[in-house]
Structure 1
């Protein structure tokens, strides 16, 4: 595996380029420290749910733990207990913490450390669902039928205590060995059924190669394909189940903020069918986009190229707030239904407000005025922070690509052509996992080719290839 030398790994210039904050102001830190000593009572008393054997599943080493779960098989289906960190217990409306979190929008993740939405004393301490610690949480209990369709939802404030902190690979290994933790033993069965329902709903999931940056023992950086276990997908389904339940609550109450994405235009679907035909991938006329994509092997070159083309179907994502009349668009085409962000309030601003709406509606109370007032600008703040997060992530990957490849100009690599146009193409190099432009004649999407690295500009974060 190609990696950088330990000498080239400073992301300081990139942080300065995007004006990323280096710390929190003294007023924000003081308010956070005070909140740790005396968290707010929130909307009233809390249910004692500390007996639930909740567990968390996150990347290795994560400290900002938003979610903990217990999944039970019942006589009629499944019962999901999903505890979410209760940030509203620590963030006074209108205070310094509130203002700063609105300004930031979300946590930004960089290889050398994150830029958190909330001070670490909260995000990695008092608000995080760390194992063995009693924490204020918002507890969702969702009953489903045997197919995985929800039949009842309950949401309330509670005190919880996570019993274990797992990562994806550990849970995957335990499941494969036949000795899963009891709290997630039913995760594969429910996860699969929710995936089947997603395909039936028409959800569109792309499986393009994902790049991951990790540190090596010598102080350099390693660029590789991000591993994705079955547990990743099943775990995501529990979050989606909860987000869809939250959207239903808000739509029924006619107040809320949804994550929305319009359905693809028929012309875009027709274009994708023609792309599949050109790539030699059979697509029966009666098969939906979702069904078709779910059967592709993401490891095949032709599938990679088609997934790259499928991004055209998923354009126009946004945050849609409403109070009274329902908006024209309430659904998310990528999910195949109505959906709201409520499961990551440590890392994402909008979740705190959406959660407060669900709590108020479920308790038969009026939605707090500070939440109603926020609906006017939270969507724009989230769109801005999403755009910044995407730019920062891309810049970090581009920078590490340049560092990794700087000493390999003239080297040859194996790559797959994702898109081709006249004498240039977009490619994904397989090792290290690099997405780049490539020059060359007669390039064809879905083709595996040999490419030569022709230039690297570390300062501008640019790499260039040509067909070998």
Structure 2
């Protein structure tokens, strides 16, 4: 069946969520002036390090660049992060609008950026072959992948190549990887093994995405490459090092998640048993989930059930006394957002704290003053981003299936209640609810599409 969509743009989604269409004139003027003036602050010259970036194809807001090298007894990660703080004036027009927006909103037909593109896709972006200001993390790891030293300072860097995930994966598989990422499989695998050992929970749920199909839109399932996972581990490593720096300084902002209660864990054990998934004695939740095949319907259902373990994430600030909660249960460690300042507000403030601590300088007053407001700003924007993302997917599902009323589809039950089931249809990839009785999680089921409303982005399925 043709999965091309019949809609053309996402103006209705933008209107429904009142997304801004432009920046205030004062913010644009300030951004252009910042580019003209150049980044503030002294910095070391690290342009001799052959950094590369790994991002989705066509990305222009490049936050991170990396270079991995081998040491006598371990590894060194150079991780450069866009130095947005060197351009923004605290309390200025740009700072004000960034606090209002919280983060970049990604829609299939164009982004609603956190900062004007003259910065986020220009002077502050770590584009290839350009001398750029960065917050340069240098993290040394032992032979097992554990960090033994971490430092961050302002630097000039130059990326020598811009890659996407599939290209890096193909190059690694073919044995022709760029020297800066040749160690990515080795270091990434060590870090992933340590994450499982710590008890980090990773849910291998299918990643539903929107693709451009000619003049319209379609649905695809994004296959997560090993490079995705390895690269994510480097970002998590940097965030964990940042958290430790802030905890030692007793000032900062962490991304936190309380541990799941015993009832949620016991419920997951019962769910695994009902799905026919063997859970050997002594096997942790992290170990069990990491060993499941995401193509198995029962595994998909258990991953969905395991989302119950990851509810309640938030942001915890502290300034003088350590908070009661300092860890993120999903990561199984203390963690902070610092690797995406072009796209996420909180990273700029956490980075400024780490830069000041590592340099032995006082933390700027404007950072102290902003800390109490950050959790509310970020939680509001996180909620909005999730709703916008889901609305875009729902819209494309409705467009794709608009002419398929009465068609039957093969599906998998992800979550079942008395008369309604949450289902996943592989082709075209759709997450929806179906009216049905006596279904069980992980069960293959045939469903029929009975109604589509592109205006409300609603689909109605029933068991066939």
TM-score w.r.t. the length of structure 2 is 0.99
Cα deviation, 1:165-221, whole Å, max 9, x if unaligned, reads 00000000000001100000000000000000000111011111111001012x111
Match of 1:167 in 2: 164
Match of 1:4 in 2: 4
Alignment equivalent of 1:211, drawn from 186, 208, 212: 208
C-alpha contact 1:2 1:431 (8 A) present in aligned 2: no
Alignment equivalent of 2:54, drawn from 53, 57, 60: 57
| Structure 1 residues 426-445: aligned runs within 5 Å | 426-445=422-441
- CA drift at 1:450: 1.6
Match of 2:19 in 1: 20
| Structure 1 residues 54-93: aligned runs within 5 Å | 54-93=51-90
* Mapped pair 1:193 → 2:218: no
Count of residues in Structure 1 that have an aligned counterpart in Structure 2: 464
* Mapped pair 1:35 → 2:45: no
Alignment equivalent of 1:237, drawn from 225, 228, 233: 233
| Structure 1 residues 285-434: aligned runs within 5 Å | 285-434=281-430
Question: Could you list the runs of 5+ residues in structure 2 that have no partner in the other structure?
Answer: none
Cα deviation, 1:90-129, whole Å, max 9, x if unaligned, reads 1110100000000000000001000000000000000000
Measured in 1, the distance between the counterparts of 2:311 and 2:209 equals: 24
Cα deviation, 1:132-188, whole Å, max 9, x if unaligned, reads 000000000000001100000111000000000000000000000011000000000
- CA drift at 1:75: 1.3
Measured in 1, the distance between the counterparts of 2:95 and 2:211 equals: 32
SS of 1:377 mapped into structure 2: helix
* Mapped pair 1:252 → 2:251: no
C-alpha contact 1:204 1:290 (8 A) present in aligned 2: yes
Question: Could you list the runs of 5+ residues in structure 1 that have no partner in the other structure?
Answer: none
| Structure 1 residues 106-145: aligned runs within 5 Å | 106-145=103-142
Measured in 2, the distance between the counterparts of 1:375 and 1:442 equals: 50
SS of 2:372 mapped into structure 1: coil
C-alpha contact 2:200 2:286 (8 A) present in aligned 1: yes
- CA drift at 1:442: 2.2
Measured in 2, the distance between the counterparts of 1:267 and 1:440 equals: 27
- CA drift at 1:283: 0.3
Moved beyond 2 Å, runs of 4+: 1-5
Measured in 2, the distance between the counterparts of 1:77 and 1:432 equals: 45
Measured in 2, the distance between the counterparts of 1:134 and 1:238 equals: 23
- CA drift at 1:4: 3.2
Match of 1:265 in 2: 261
Alignment root-mean-square deviation, CA: 0.9
C-alpha contact 2:40 2:87 (8 A) present in aligned 1: no
C-alpha contact 1:54 1:183 (8 A) present in aligned 2: yes
